[in-house]
A and B are shown apart, each in its own frame.
Chain A
Amino acid sequence: MSDNRLIETEGLHKVYRTGTVETPALRGVDLELHSGEFTAIAGPSGSGKSTLLHLLGGLDRPTSGETFLEGRAMSKLSKDELAKLRLTRIGFVFQAYNLIPVLTVLENTAFVLELQGVVRAERIERARKILAELGIEQYADRYPNRISGGEQQRVAVARAVVAGPSIVLADEPTANLDSGTSLELIDLMRRLNSEKGATFLFATHDSRLLDRVSRLITLEDGRITSDETR
């Protein structure tokens, strides 16, 4: 397994400081993630799931510890290098507000390609292709506020995978969706995982999602308490 090791963390600690109050969110997380995995991080509210995802995705920096993405130590990267790493290696799906309101579905999907400097014709083509694969090409020219929440999340998934990242990090992607829509979204991501080998890491409470992952990591109080592969 170690030959396809994607992410490795060593003793990740994160302490939030607001004024004089210190909130420890992570207290020493050691973790290995591999390409092709479909993993969920579960745990009670406040256990540090989002915090861990942010650190793995280079959105925030740990108080101590280190994350290696494809062998590179992330703490050594500058702000712009981290941004570049997010842009090229990581896809994000957030709980809500995933899309830029002034851009159409197609433009939102193509946005990361634009940031990467892909020429217009190619990024439009690639964005259309992924929208078609996910069965949402009919919304291509609509603005985000003209489609449903479930559809918005699918567009977010499309945007997350369009540039072929090493891993997609999704924080509670189904939290705002009803049960049917959630299942559709989960199926879609599973398909991307099994058919294209896309790697996913979720932070979620959603049991429907937890039932469908191949690996389940449980966080409690900032520590990993169980890690089972199924």
Chain B
Amino acid sequence: MKAAIRHLKRNRGRSILTLLAVLIPVYSLVVMFGLAGGNLRDMFDTATRLDTGHLQIRHAERRGMGSALPLIKDPDEIISTLDRIEGIAWRTLRLDLPAIASVGERSQAIVVQGVVPEEIDPISSMRGLILAGRYLTSKDEGVVIGEELAKLLKIDVGDEMVILGVHPETGVGALKVPILGIYSTPAAAMGRTIIQAPLDVARRLAHSIAGATAVVVRVAGVTGPWDARRIDRVVAELRAILPSDYEVLDWRRLAPQVASYMAIIKPALFIFAAVFFGLGALVVLNTVYLSVIERTRELGLIISLGASQWRVIRMILLEAGILSATGAVYGALAGVSLVWIVEAFGGLPLPAAFSSMMKAIGMNPVLHLRVSFSQVALSAAAMAGVAVIAAWYPARRASRLEPVEAMRYVG
């Protein structure tokens, strides 16, 4: 061990290169994991907080509904079922209704989300997104709309618009409502089409006094898609106990963009890791190989004196192992530090040009990083392992040197 460290010190430059060959991939991978994880959490959060919840209970779809969701006539029955099972953090009723918003000559297809503002307040970030005016209370007779829709219809807080609700089960309903507030969201499509109204307003529009289209549920202890199993458990339980009139949809169905992002990012990270590990391994192989060549005579001496092949292999692997382990630990520390620092400053705001693009595709323009301990540990351990495996070839070469020839070698 002492001798190994002295060897490494003797050729500092090469040792540092080997160390970096492990450190950089580990660092990069931790940061990549951080970006992917942060992104995923943001997407999941945006989708499940603002819109879908972790799961929804809806009336099983009937034919001929178009874009409208079937009405649940008696949602209280579901609420009382939910109150009886474990692991539910939160639930609320919602009534989504396809509609047309018009102001004078201008009109736009929208979806009216009837919500209970007091209930969604602690979960939804909607109140924080209000740009102008104010957010709703359940007593209100008005709505909040997205800035994109306000721009399209050229209306502002205090103006009125006509909403024409169309539901195949109950027919057409029309209301004239004031704009109480305007919100701004990273998701531009949402800003154009989603308006929020108190549940009672939506019910009037749908001619359904007690109805809803969905019970939106959040499950306890879920911080991101990585906690999906908790959600799955609740989904399975609900499916078992709810009457077959109802269907239970989880976030994968409700926010397919999150699931498909996950499906893309996993192989992408895997390829990224493979490429970086491969490059790191090549550098390690090369530097260890050079050090074996350079020490041919010394290795010849050691073999002459009677070192076994395995002993020589161990010696070389020990040196590579010390460097790899050090590189992996420092790479992981550097990566985790970066994640930690970025998060301590509240994320990394993207440059303006980028941020509008990100907004357009519904992503948060502030980059957040998130890594799990197992991702960091796995990246570090895997790279260190790959490095030691890469050192195996030169180590084996070293162990097979012919002692007489090796001692005659002049570098």
Chain A residues in the interface with B (C-beta under 8 A)? 54, 57, 59-60, 79-80, 83-88, 90, 92, 94, 97-98, 100-103, 107, 111-112, 115, 159
Residue B91 at the chain A interface, CB threshold 8 Å? no
The interface on chain B, measured as residues whose beta carbon lies within 8 A of the other chain's beta carbons, has a size of 21
* Also in contact, A59 and B404, with CB within 8 A (given A83-B307, A115-B305): yes
Residue B306 at the chain A interface, CB threshold 8 Å? yes
Contact B305 A87 (CB under 8 A): yes
* Also in contact, A83 and B306, with CB within 8 A (given A54-B404, A60-B404, A102-B6): yes
Contact A88 B306 (CB under 8 A): yes
Q: How far is the CB of B401 from chain A (nearest CB, A)?
A: 11
Contact A100 B298 (CB under 8 A): yes
Residue B297 at the chain A interface, CB threshold 8 Å? yes
Measured CA separation A60–B302 after assembly (Å): 15
In the complex, which residues 283-332 of chain B have their Cβ closer than 8 Å to any Cβ of chain A?
Answer: 297-298, 301-311
Q: How far is the CB of B294 from chain A (nearest CB, A)?
A: 12
> Can you name the residue of chain A whose Cβ is closest to the Cβ of B309?
A80
Q: How far is the CB of A80 from chain B (nearest CB, A)?
A: 5
Contact B307 A115 (CB under 8 A): yes
Chain B residues in the interface with A (C-beta under 8 A)? 3, 6-7, 10, 297-298, 301-311, 402-404, 407
Contact B3 A107 (CB under 8 A): yes
Measured CA separation A112–B309 after assembly (Å): 15
Given contacts A80-B309, A88-B306, A102-B7, 20 further A-B pairs with CB under 8 A are A60-B403, A80-B308, A80-B310, A83-B306, A84-B308, A87-B305, A87-B307, A94-B301, A94-B304, A94-B407, A97-B297, A97-B298, A101-B298, A102-B6, A103-B6, A107-B3, A111-B305, A115-B305, A115-B306, A115-B311
Measured CA separation A57–B404 after assembly (Å): 11
| Chain B residues, CB < 8 A from A80 | 308-310
Write 18 A-B pairs (CB below 8 A) sorted by A numbering: A54-B404, A59-B404, A60-B404, A83-B303, A83-B308, A86-B305, A87-B307, A92-B304, A97-B301, A100-B3, A100-B298, A100-B302, A101-B10, A102-B7, A107-B3, A111-B305, A112-B305, A159-B305
| Chain A residues, CB < 8 A from B6 | 102-103
Measured CA separation A103–B1 after assembly (Å): 12
Measured CA separation A115–B304 after assembly (Å): 12
> Can you name the residue of chain B whose Cβ is closest to the Cβ of A88?
B306
| Chain A residues, CB < 8 A from B404 | 54, 59-60
Report which of A83, A87, A97, A101 forms a contact with B407, defined as CB distance below 8 A.
Answer: A97
| Chain A residues, CB < 8 A from B402 | 60
Q: How far is the CB of B316 from chain A (nearest CB, A)?
A: 14
Measured CA separation A83–B311 after assembly (Å): 11
| Chain A residues, CB < 8 A from B303 | 83
Measured CA separation A111–B310 after assembly (Å): 16
| Chain B residues, CB < 8 A from A102 | 3, 6-7, 10
| Chain A residues, CB < 8 A from B311 | 115
Q: How far is the CB of A154 from chain B (nearest CB, A)?
A: 17
Measured CA separation A90–B307 after assembly (Å): 13
> Can you name the residue of chain B whose Cβ is closest to the Cβ of A80?
B308
Measured CA separation A98–B10 after assembly (Å): 19
Contact B304 A59 (CB under 8 A): yes
| Chain A residues, CB < 8 A from B308 | 80, 83-84
Measured CA separation A59–B303 after assembly (Å): 9
Measured CA separation A94–B403 after assembly (Å): 12
Max chain B Cβ within 10 angstroms of own Cβ: one of A59, A84, A94: A59
Measured CA separation A112–B303 after assembly (Å): 11
Q: How far is the CB of A115 from chain B (nearest CB, A)?
A: 6
| Chain B residues, CB < 8 A from A84 | 306, 308
| Chain B residues, CB < 8 A from A103 | 3, 6
| Chain B residues, CB < 8 A from A107 | 3
Q: How far is the CB of A17 from chain B (nearest CB, A)?
A: 13
Measured CA separation A84–B303 after assembly (Å): 10
Measured CA separation A99–B297 after assembly (Å): 10
